[in-house]
C-alpha cells in the first residue's frame, strides 16, 4: 500500500539569512547557530547525517554525533573497521548535514576526512561511560553480521566481568576519531513560499583564516 504526502507541507517563517550581515568566517556562524539550537533545547542538536562513498561508488548515509568543532573542521568518533571507515579509507571525501526542524535551519558541511591523533581519541574514549566503552569492544567490527542479539549480550557480559566498573577499559585500536576539514559549508534558513535563504561559504586557498572564505547566495 502506497503513502501519499503530496498535500503535506509547512510554511517556514521563523527566520532570515542576509548575505550582507553574515560573519566572514563560517565557523563563527556555525557556532552561533549551534548555540541557538542548544538554547532552544533542540534534541541532540549535534546529531548529524554523515554521507560517505567508497570504492563501490555507492553513497551511504547514517547519523553520527558531532563531538568537537575545531578551527578547521568537525570531529566525530566511530569504529575504524565499520562500513563508514571502509568508505573513508577508499575515498577521503565526506559530507555532513545538520537539520534543526525547530529553527527551520540546515547546515551542510563538505570536505576531506582523516583520522585524528590516536592520543586524542584515547583521551575521549576514557571519558565515555564505562558501559559505552564496553559496547565499543562488542561492536567488532561495527556493521558486521551477528547470529542474534544473545551473542552480543553474552559478549557484553563477558567484557563486563573482565573489566568491572571502576577499572580501565583499554581503548580499542580499531576505534577513534575522524575530522572533516571543512572546504565548503552551506547555511540554509527556511522561508515562506519556498523562497529559502541559502548562503554558501567556499574556501579560497589553503588558509583557514576568515579572509580565506568567500560567500555566495544560492537559489532555493
- Domains plus CATH for the chain? 26-218 (2.30.110.10)
Do the Cβ atoms of 214 and 199 come closer than 8 Å? no
Residue 108 pLDDT grade (very low, low, confident, very high; cuts 50, 70, 90): very high
**Mean pLDDT on 44-52:** 98
pLDDT over 70 (residue 218): yes
Give the angle 135-116-175 at the CA atoms, nearest 5°: 20
Beta-bridge mates of residue 177: 77
SS3 content of the chain, % helix, strand, coil (to 5): 30, 30, 40
User: Residue 181, annotated ligand binder?
Assistant: no
pLDDT over 80 (residue 211): no
- The DSSP letter of residue 167 is S
Q: How far apart are CA 108 and CA 34, in angstroms?
A: 13
**Mean pLDDT on 173-185:** 97
**Mean pLDDT on 156-172:** 96
Closest-CA residue to 30 (of 66, 77, 78) = 66
**Which residues are the active-site residues?**
194
What does pTM read for this prediction? Answer: 0.93
pLDDT over 90 (residue 42): yes
State the sign of the Cα–Cα–Cα–Cα dihedral 121, 78, 184, 87. positive
User: Residue 130, annotated ligand binder?
Assistant: no
Q: How far apart are CA 146 and CA 139, in angstroms?
A: 10
User: Residue 188, annotated ligand binder?
Assistant: yes
Residue 210 pLDDT grade (very low, low, confident, very high; cuts 50, 70, 90): low
User: Residue 149, annotated ligand binder?
Assistant: no
State the sign of the Cα–Cα–Cα–Cα dihedral 86, 87, 93, 94. negative
Length of the chain: 220
pLDDT at 125: 97
Report phi then psi at 208, rounded to 5: -105, 15
Closest-CA residue to 22 (of 207, 183, 185, 190) = 185
> Cell 566511530 maps to which residue?
78
Exposed, middle or buried, 107 (CB in 10 Å: 0-12/13-18/19+)?
A: buried
Amino acid at each position: 500500500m502506497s503513502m501519499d504526502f503530496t498535500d503535506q507541507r509547512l510554511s517556514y517563517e521563523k527566520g532570515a539569512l542576509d548575505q550582507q550581515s553574515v560573519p566572514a568566517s563560517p565557523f563563527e556562524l556555525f557556532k552561533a547557530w549551534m548555540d541557538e539550537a542548544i538554547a532552544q533545547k533542540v534534541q541532540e542538536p549535534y546529531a548529524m547525517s554523515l554521507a560517505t562513498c567508497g570504492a563501490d561508488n555507492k553513497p551511504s548515509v547514517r547519523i553520527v554525533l558531532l563531538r568537537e568543532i575545531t578551527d578547521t573542521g568537525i570531529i566525530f568518533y566511530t569504529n575504524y573497521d565499520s562500513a563508514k571507515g571502509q568508505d573513508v579509507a577508499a575515498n577521503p571525501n565526506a559530507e555532513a548535514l545538520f537539520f534543526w526542524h525547530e529553527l527551520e535551519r540546515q547546515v551542510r558541511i563538505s570536505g576531506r576526512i582523516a583520522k585524528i591523533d590516536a592520543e586524542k581519541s584515547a583521551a575521549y574514549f576514557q571519558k565515555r561511560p564505562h558501559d559505552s566503552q564496553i559496547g565499543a569492544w562488542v561492536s567488532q567490527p561495527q556493521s558486521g553480521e551477528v547470529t542474534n542479539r544473545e551473542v552480543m549480550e553474552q559478549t557484553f557480559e563477558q567484557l563486563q566481568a573482565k573489566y568491572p566498573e571502576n577499572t580501565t577499559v583499554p581503548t580499542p585500536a580499531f576505534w577513534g576519531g575522524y575530522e572533516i576539514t571543512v572546504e565548503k559549508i552551506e547555511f540554509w534558513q527556511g522561508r515562506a513560499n519556498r523562497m529559502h535563504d541559502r548562503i554558501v561559504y567556499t574556501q579560497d586557498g589553503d588558509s583557514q583564516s576568515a579572509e580565506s572564505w568567500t560567500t555566495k547566495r544560492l537559489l532555493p
